[in-house]
Each structure stands twice: as structure tokens, then as C-alpha cells.
Structure 1
Amino acid sequence: MNSAAVRGLLLRGMLAGLGAGVLGLVVAYVVGEPQVDAAIDQEAHAAGHGHGAGAGSGSGSGEEGELVSRSLQSTAGLATGMLVYGVALGGLAALAIAYALGRVGRFGPRATALLLALGGLVTVSAVPFLKYPANPPGVGDPSTVGSRTTQYFLMVLLSVLLAVGAAVAGRRLVPRLGGWYATVAGGAVFVAAAGVAVALLPESSVEVPEGYPADLLWRFRLASLGVHGVVWVGFGLLFGELAERLLVRGGAGRRPRAPVAG
């Protein structure tokens, strides 16, 4: 693939990421923000019971004493974060898909984009979530945020490396097993390796306060994972369509072919 096509895919990837970020923003605002508000109310309620009336104002969850108000966090702050995340994700994923086109079987741009987006959802979001799930306000010691963030991103990196290793192993098995069985074997390798990593890596230092509503914790985590799912799937669908128009209907005129061995 020439450099002009890669630049075109990168630009379209960032545009698709922006669109996916908008979709994620809608879901985060409609589904996720009510859970954040409920968690803040729960934290304030617990602080009030623990320290008496008026003690909740020092918990850091209310609007008083905050550098950025809660209303601004849930609107402009949320929008900025989701859109920047979407554009960054789109650019990186577009480069990965540009490399993968023609190397993962005889899939066209649409199918390749959707497959790699689903792979990204599993490796970048779902597997790290199994080990270090998101936590609402009021859960976890604020002093451990730095170490917990480091643990999470190390898990993301490890999951991606395991996925790349499993994909390489699967490709090398194609001559022996054929495409279908090699794909299944590669997937099994990834699942087994990710399972071992989840089991052996250090546990999170987060402690859920006694009496914390389990349904609130579950809803918050499910909403967080749902936002990631909408962003990844939305990106795969949007970028697949844009890449199809660029490479098949427009400039390239034909689907990229798998490289010929030898």
C-alpha cells in the first residue's frame, strides 16, 4: 500500500474515531453519568453518616471546593475527553488496519476494520477490565490512583502483546492446519495466555467500602464497559465504510490482495 493510501486511511481513521467518540459520548452521558451521580451521592451519604452533618462537603465529590464543577465535568469535560480519546484511538487503529489489510485473509476493508475493532475491544478494553475493572467515585483510596493507573495500562500493554503473539502463532500454523483451524488455535493461545496473566498479575489495591451497594458498583462498571464497546464497534463500522469508499470504490478500484508467499 502506497503512502498516499496510508495517509488517506489515517485521516479517515481519525474522522471515524471522532464519530465513534460522539457515539460514546451519548452513551456515557445517558447511561454512565447517572451512575457517577449516584456514586457521588452514595459517597456523600456515607461521609455524612461517618462524620456527622456537613462533613460531606470535604469528600471532594461535591461542587463546593472543586476546581472544576461537577456540571462542567459531566458536559464539556466529558465531551472533550471522549472526542480526544476517539480521535487518538481512530488514528492508531487506522494504522494497524492499514498494515493488516491483505494480511488477514481475503477480507475487504469493511470486514478487516470490523474484525480488528472487535479485537481491539477484547484486547484493549475487555481483558484489562476483567483484571482491573473501573470503579465509581468513593471506591478505592485516592492515594493509590497512580499505582492503579499504572497497573491498568501495563495490563493493556500485556494484553496487546499477547494478542500480537497469538496472531503470529496462528499465521505460522496456517500451512499445517489451514486457515480456520489456525485461527481457532491462535484464539485459544490468546485466551489461555490472557487467563494466566489475569490470574498471576497483582490484585488491585481497591477495597469496596463496607455496605457499598453492589448494584451501583455493577451498573457503573457495566456502563463503563458499554461505552468502550460502543466506541470500538462504532469505529469499526464507520472506518470500514470510509476505507471501502477510498480503496474499493474510489482510488484503488479493487480490494487489496493477500501478499503472495515467497
Structure 2
Amino acid sequence: MTYGAVIKRYLLAGLVSGILCALYLRILGEPVIRAGLDFEDSLPSEGPADPELFTRDQQVLGGMVALVFVSLLLSFLFGTLYAFLRHRIINGQGDVRASTTLAALAFLLTVVVPWIRYPFLPPGMGNGETVWKRGFWELLLIVTGIVAFVLIQFGIARLKGRMSGDVRWILAIVVPVVVIGLIMFIFPSVSDPYPDGIPAQLIWSFRIRSLGSYALFWAIIGIFGGWLVSRAAATSSPGSPPSIPLKDPVPQG
């Protein structure tokens, strides 16, 4: 398959994912966000409130539209990565499994790892300084985790011939977990004092539902995108070249 053919299908998957995630957050996420905003409004004001430029309904609609565009951008980046790696990781297992595996890995490295170290905060918590500090360390943790994972996989791949494929497969899972866990431990914490009286259920409902939206996005990208590519590959000519023809440097166990 060509690069363009792969990208078109992942953009379609990104559009579907963006719409479904926007509906998910509107139905399941918005009640928790409104509860957080109501709690914030109930706190004693330290000064005159800033006038709202947009109503909450306008903010929700704008957020839903922005989410669709972000989903398209992320699906484009993921599709590009999959087109580059497709002939290396497909390995007879099919596009659906290969795409889902890669999406699951992206979910773990870009969502779960920073979520564990820097859990999401509902509206009404944190301040401008901690928000920027939290965002900086989250981004740095994501980049560091991805780089560490890639370097570990390359290092394990070079061990072919020195140990069995089963051992290398175990190392490819265990070593990244240990190394990234240590990286998470080293990264500084960014603590935000919880406002007095805020329900713990509100905090965890926001965190779990936010995590669920990311899981929904990556599941649709991985499964539906892989299914679209698989159907297209089945109808293309058997002799068509891979998306990006490169020599496979990853040893197979």
C-alpha cells in the first residue's frame, strides 16, 4: 500500500474517533466538569470575577470542534508512523493486530505514564503556575519515556543470536517497565492543594472519565484504522510495495 492510502484511512478513523470522543466527553465528562465549576464558584471569591467571554455551552461546542481537529492531527501522525513501520511490525499478524498493538503502546506511553505521575485535575484546582509546570513535566516525561522505550528495543534487538527469542521478548516488556518506572520516580512531583471540601469522588470521576476518553480514542484509531487498512490491502494487488520500502532491521525471534 502507498503512504497516501494509509493516511486517508487513518484520517477517516481520526474523524470517527474525534466525533465519538467529543460525544463521550459531552455526555460523560461535562457533568463532572460542571460539578467542578460549580464547586469553584461556591468558594469565597478573592476579588471581582472576570467577565465570561463565552457561555459554557459555547465553550463546550468549541471544545468539541477542537477535539475533532486534534483527533485528525493525531491520526495523521499515527498513520505516518504506521506507514513507516507497517512492513516491519505486521509480521504475518495482520493490520488490525499490528495497528492495535501500536496504538496500545502509544496509549501507554503518552497517556497512562503521565496520568500515573501527574493525575488529571478537575476545574477549580491548581493555579496558573502549577498548570504550566505540570504541563512541562508531563510533556518531558512523555518524550523521555518514548526515547527510553525506543532505545531499549534497539538494544534488545542487537542481542539476537546471543539469547533465545523468548528471552528477548520478555526483556522487551520487563526492561521498559522497570526503566520507565524509575524515570517516573525521578521526575519531580507537582502538588496542587485540594480545596477544602471538594469531594474525592469528583476528583476521581474526572480522572477516570478523562482517561476513558483517551482509551476510546486510541482504541478506535488502532482497531478501526487497522481494519480500514486491512480491507484496502486485501483489495490491492499482491505485488504492491510496502508503504515506505525500507530494509527490516528488527530481528525476528
TM-score (norm 1): 0.85
- Cα deviation, residue 261, structure 1: 8.2
* Structure 1: gaps of 5 or more residues: none
Task: Give me the whole-angstrom Cα distance separating, in 2, the residues matched to 1:169 and 1:107.
Answer: 24
The answer to whether the 8 Å contact 2:133/2:190 transfers is: no
- 2:98: which partner in 1? 112
| 1:199 to 2:196 alignment | no
| 1:29 to 2:26 alignment | yes
Question: Equivalences for 1:133-144 in 2 at 5 Å?
Answer: 133-144=119-130
Task: Give me the whole-angstrom Cα distance separating, in 2, the residues matched to 1:261 and 1:163.
Answer: 14
Q: Residue 229 of structure 2 aligns to which amino acid in structure 1?
A: A
Identity, in percent, stands at 27
- Describe the SS at the equivalent of 1:173: coil
User: 1:62-108 CA deviation, whole Å, 9 max, x = no partner?
Assistant: xxx1122211112x212122111211111111111112223233332
Task: Give me the whole-angstrom Cα distance separating, in 2, the residues matched to 1:261 and 1:90.
Answer: 25
Q: Residue 82 of structure 1 aligns to which amino acid in structure 2?
A: L
- Cα deviation, residue 41, structure 1: 1.0
> Which region of structure 1 is more displaced relative to structure 2, 31-40 or 147-156?
147-156
Task: Give me the whole-angstrom Cα distance separating, in 2, the residues matched to 1:102 and 1:94.
Answer: 13
Q: Pairwise CA RMSD of aligned residues?
A: 2.6
Distance change in 2, residues 1:39/1:261 (3 Å): closer
1:181 to 158, 167, 190: 167
| 1:89 to 2:74 alignment | yes
- 2:141: which partner in 1? 155
> Which region of structure 1 is more displaced relative to structure 2, 126-135 or 204-213?
204-213
- 1:18: which partner in 2? 15
The answer to whether the 8 Å contact 2:130/2:190 transfers is: no
- Describe the SS at the equivalent of 1:212: coil
> Which region of structure 1 is more displaced relative to structure 2, 133-142 or 160-169?
160-169
Task: Give me the whole-angstrom Cα distance separating, in 1, the residues matched to 2:148 and 2:52.
Answer: 41
> Which region of structure 1 is more displaced relative to structure 2, 10-19 or 213-222?
10-19
Task: Give me the whole-angstrom Cα distance separating, in 2, the residues matched to 1:56 and 1:247.
Answer: 61
Distance change in 2, residues 1:242/1:260 (3 Å): same
2:208 to 214, 222, 230: 222
- 2:84: which partner in 1? 99
Task: Give me the whole-angstrom Cα distance separating, in 2, the residues matched to 1:102 and 1:150.
Answer: 35
The answer to whether the 8 Å contact 1:135/1:221 transfers is: yes
State the number of aligned residues: 247
Distance change in 2, residues 1:261/1:185 (3 Å): closer
Q: Residue 152 of structure 2 aligns to which amino acid in structure 1?
A: A
* Structure 2: gaps of 5 or more residues: none
- 2:64: which partner in 1? 79
